Structure 1
């Protein structure tokens, strides 16, 4: 069970690393505009904000990878970062797009629940 929780946690980390790339480097490019439903104008106007948001996603990915690298000693770090992802995902779903709940918060919730179950 712990191995499965670790794999799902790494999936969440990979998603956030992907968000970093999309938001920091492709926000105003066709790939980023399509992923986030942006027009050329709105993407250009919000590019700096998106890059900042991408950086935060990178920190979440780094925290999750750090926690995984520490094994069971990193469970607190993983729980904290997964909790942050869930809260951010719920907030994003309420304020920006319901899709965020499924793409961001749901995988993090699954990872958190698996981790808690694995810990006993």
Structure 2
């Protein structure tokens, strides 16, 4: 079960690396415009904002990777909680699908991390 929890944490981290790439490097291109439903003009104007947002996603990914490498329960809980809060806020204020693509995977990973911290090996 701990392996599955850590795998979910890793998947959430990779997801945020993908968000970073999308928002920083693909934002103004056809992929970014299709995913975010923007026009070339809007994408060009909003590119600095998207790149700034991409950095935050990168920080979340690095934090989750740090938590995995350091095997730190507290860091996993902290960074997954940040993702859940950000995903929930985004889902409520920007686009409801963010709840499913960002908040839900992080919430599942958080639940698994919490459950595995309470389980003790069988004697």
TM-score by length of 1: 0.96
Task: Show the 5 A alignment for 1:1-120.
Answer: 1-71=1-71, 74-120=72-118
Cα deviation for residue 90 of structure 1 reads: 0.6
Greater C-alpha radius of gyration: 2
CA distance in 1, matches of 2:57, 2:115: 26
In structure 1, stretches of 5+ residues that fail to align are none
Cα deviation for residue 2 of structure 1 reads: 0.8
C-alpha deviations, 1:70-114, integer Å up to 9, x for none? 12xx11111100000000001101111001000000000000000
CA distance in 2, matches of 1:35, 1:9: 24
CA distance in 2, matches of 1:38, 1:78: 34
CA distance in 1, matches of 2:98, 2:57: 13
For these two proteins, the number of residue pairs brought into alignment is 118
TM-score by length of 2: 0.94
After TM superposition, the runs of 4+ consecutive aligned structure 1 residues lying more than 2 A away are none
Which residue matches 2:121? none
Secondary structure at the aligned position of 1:46 is classed as helix
C-alpha deviations, 1:26-73, integer Å up to 9, x for none? 1111111112221212111110000000000000000000000012xx
